Amino acid sequence: MTEKEALKKLKELTRLYQNVNGNDVKHLLHQISTSAGQEKAGKLLEKIESDGVLAKVAFVGSHTTQGLDNITRYEASKRNLNIQLFTGGFNQWNLLMLKPGSDLEYFDPDVTVCSLDESIIYQHFGDRGWSTETLSYALDEALAEIKKVLTVYTNRMATTIVLHTIPMPLYDWKAVTNYREKQQVSMLWRQFNQNLLNLHTTLESVIVLDFEVLTQDVRETRDPRMKHYASMSYTANVWQVFSKEIASIVASIKGLTQKVLALDLDHTLWGGIIGDDGVHGVQLSKAFPGNQFFAFQQVIQRLQAQGILLTIVSKNDWDNVKDIFTSHDDMVLSEKDFVQISCNWRPKSESLANMASRLNLGRDSIVFVDDNPFERELVSSQLPEVTVIPLSQDPSLYIHDLLIDGYFNTMTSTDEDHKRLEKYKQIAKREELKEDSASIEEYLLQLEMKLDLFEVLSAHIPRITQLSQRTNQFNMTTNRLTESEVAVISNSESSSIYGFRLKDKFGDNGIVGYVHVKKEEHRWLIENFVMSCRVFQRNVESEVLRLILENAKSQGVSEVIGNYQPSQKNKLVSDFYQNNGFEFVDYGENSTCWVYLFKKEIEKVEWIQLTASEEGMSV
């Protein structure tokens, strides 16, 4: 969905006035990325009834702060906050804060945002022209005024005050023509900002944001046309980055800070799939591309050191995973850093729900990080309280994605934060359970999965070979095929390879598996059945098997044989034939053999639709 479409949908929601699903709104908000779009969204959100936590935020300033209020509402809505806004008039900051009984006092904000610009410094120049001495004097005067106003205001009001450092205007620096003086001017100005950053030591309820750090990736922080026409010192792009911090501060005051970081493993903590690539085959190292994952883990470790609880929620066999913690040199995180580990094949929404109840934590304290949109959508639809971070495709952006919204920010850190890990570890124990859930079936139905089974043609050979070579977990016999073998088999009369592809509402997953069948007159033998882990837990395999069996029946076959040959990594599928209507025959050489005699009808998987193949012959 584009930003424009999301805004249009949001506008439609404002016209409904009732039954607006908060999760639908949040989903739309995440599609909006420009400052102009976010400002529009913030304006529309005013008309949507929110069941979020109520918070009052006031904006005052020495210049026009137009737009900051609406962008803040946008960010706050993403954090389940229902914001009431107060915006003070142009250059009213000191009057509003000083005067008892002002509109600001009457509004009684939880947070007061005070945006100041260079005008509060330059007003003290009076008739004197520019000189370094005058600047020095004016900076001192400005600081004294800020201190005075804030002291009066904080004595009267129980509110958190947010300020930011004031950047020195580029052209005031350029207008100084000698470099010795330029350095003096820069130093004085920085000294002033340092003093602002130090205000919290005497005025506890003051938070000063670092303008230069926060806006370093902002394309345009000032627009001279807006400055001259409307006294706007900073652009909406600046408000965009500040509003995230303001929302974090409000969330923290209202107790909505997240405490748990639930992490996927494959493609998240390392590149590749550990079940297929092995402990030393995954991307995780000090060189590109593994260093992207290494750096991501380092950041996660820093969060953990500040009291954020880490958990693993991965679809994997623990036996395949556990060695990476001990035998991989570049694995930053260790097993003991996690309070809880869920490595199983249950839906992640269930694992997260169980984890929350076992740790006795609210679901709203969890941030879930997964590279796979399928898993993310599952969790946000089943557990709307959980914060789901939409990880970029590019792992170099993972750190940005995790940190940009400041979900874990608090006012101060306490000893308690650092002890939290041990406390929760005592509560939690790793569990590997298998449960079914009715709600999951509903969810799968909503995915609109479309399966296409086809006989393999030459165009499919590379992908089929790749699946054969790389897939370890869903691989019944681990009988690997080369390209030429695939070509020979697919041209043969007595055997076939059926490929299958799966589409769902998130897009086309491409060819995700194949079935290799040897055909005799009345008997088919399934030589191998291979499927990518990308589509596990959707019963695709059952539906494919059912189609194969139907096809066999229509060709007069009376029995279908399947083998399971255990490897180190395919424990997952040891019960596959048994669970799908096959009967046990005997133990072969390192294998078990199963037969289907067409006695039991196999049920269609209701949430998977079938499509006719575009390229291959439909079975």
To the nearest whole angstrom, how small is the minimum distance from the Cβ of residue 225 to other proteins?
4
For other proteins, the closer of residues 29 and 236 by Cβ is 236
Q: What spatial distance separates the first Cα and last Cα of the chain, rounded to whole Å?
A: 35
To the nearest whole angstrom, how small is the minimum distance from the Cβ of residue 243 to other proteins?
16
To the nearest whole angstrom, how small is the minimum distance from the Cβ of residue 236 to other proteins?
7
To the nearest whole angstrom, how small is the minimum distance from the Cβ of residue 254 to other proteins?
30
DSSP secondary structure code for residue 302 in this structure = H
For other proteins, the closer of residues 4 and 604 by Cβ is 4
376 close to 370: Cβ distance less than 8 angstroms = yes
To the nearest whole angstrom, how small is the minimum distance from the Cβ of residue 230 to other proteins?
6
To the nearest whole angstrom, how small is the minimum distance from the Cβ of residue 43 to other proteins?
9
For other proteins, the closer of residues 2 and 590 by Cβ is 2
CA–CA distances in Å: residue 420 to residues 3, 135, 428: 40, 49, 12
For other proteins, the closer of residues 150 and 236 by Cβ is 236
Phi-psi category of 255—alpha, beta or left, where left has phi over 0 and alpha has psi -120 to 50?
left
To the nearest whole angstrom, how small is the minimum distance from the Cβ of residue 7 to other proteins?
9
For other proteins, the closer of residues 226 and 610 by Cβ is 226
Q: Distance between CA atoms of 35 and 38, rounded to whole angstroms?
A: 5
133 close to 189: Cβ distance less than 8 angstroms = no
Q: Distance between CA atoms of 59 and 161, rounded to whole angstroms?
A: 10
To the nearest whole angstrom, how small is the minimum distance from the Cβ of residue 103 to other proteins?
19
DSSP secondary structure code for residue 449 in this structure = E
Binding site for other proteins (CB under 8 A): 11, 34, 36, 40, 66, 225-226, 228-230, 236
Other CB atoms within a 10 A radius of the CB of residue 394 amount to 10
- In sequence order, the 6+-apart residues with CB closer than 8 A to the CB of 389 are 367, 368, 369, 401, 402, 405, 407
To the nearest whole angstrom, how small is the minimum distance from the Cβ of residue 113 to other proteins?
20
* Rg of the Cα atoms in the chain: 30
**Residue from 265, 371, 416 nearest 328 by CA:** 265
For other proteins, the closer of residues 34 and 558 by Cβ is 34
Q: Distance between CA atoms of 427 and 217, rounded to whole angstroms?
A: 42
For other proteins, the closer of residues 31 and 387 by Cβ is 31
For other proteins, the closer of residues 228 and 336 by Cβ is 228
To the nearest whole angstrom, how small is the minimum distance from the Cβ of residue 117 to other proteins?
17
Q: Distance between CA atoms of 512 and 531, rounded to whole angstroms?
A: 6
CA–CA distances in Å: residue 321 to residues 224, 280, 318, 332, 354: 56, 11, 5, 15, 21
Q: Distance between CA atoms of 501 and 524, rounded to whole angstroms?
A: 22
Give me the helices (H) in 360-516, please: 373-382, 398-403, 415-427, 438-446, 461-470, 483-491
For other proteins, the closer of residues 36 and 295 by Cβ is 36
**Residue from 486, 434, 415, 479 nearest 457 by CA:** 486
For other proteins, the closer of residues 242 and 398 by Cβ is 242
For other proteins, the closer of residues 7 and 355 by Cβ is 7
CA–CA distances in Å: residue 546 to residues 352, 560, 583: 32, 11, 15
